[in-house]
Structure 1
Amino acid sequence: MISAEQICPSDAWKLTQEGVLLVDVRETDEVSQERYEVSCYMHLPLSELPQRFREIPNDKKVIIACRSGIRSQKAIDFLLSQGYEKLCNLEGGILAWKEQEFPIV
């Protein structure tokens, strides 16, 4: 069975610097308070994922992120069931991201 790669914030940062898309599955109210500051960013709330998942490219690597890594894993499980394969889960979510002092806005 295909599973997603679990990555730490430093690996996620490096990937985003190489142009890998980070998909934030937190809800809109959370994102309006703070969000990942990366050049390739998409906000797609977990609650809208079943209707909008086709907006996420399935032909290249994608990082799925949330607050702590739990909702992103739920999103990954759903995406895997839809045929996605090149997925990475940001371990610790934005909490770990901020702890390691990567940029947020």
Structure 2
Amino acid sequence: MIRTILTFTPDPAAIEEIERIYAAGDVLAYSLEQTRALASELAVDIDDPEHPEIVVTALWPDEAAYQEWLDHPRRAAAAPGLPELVGPVGAARRYEVRQRVVKAEDQSVRHDV
């Protein structure tokens, strides 16, 4: 399993617009629907409001699944206007998930990897 982490450090005034672009294009859901991704999140740094960082993470079953997203012909079109706010969107950092637990709806915890 692979976790990708993509970070942006935009102008603080651009945070709401970046969130709006992600929401308007339903970017996170689109990436899940168009690929084999398992989960995706967008988080905004709340510790440093003067230099906030945006972190976009995704969980993939394997490297090939992430590569499918990088190669997807409509990937760039999924978030029009984003590069102007954050600069060119490149590849995320990749991490191999070696241990993982999840909480089920019944609140039980299960090991997943």
Which TM-score applies when normalising by structure 1? Answer: 0.28
- Name the one with the larger strand percent: 2
Structure of greater Rg = 2
Which TM-score applies when normalising by structure 2? Answer: 0.26
- Name the one with the larger helix percent: 1
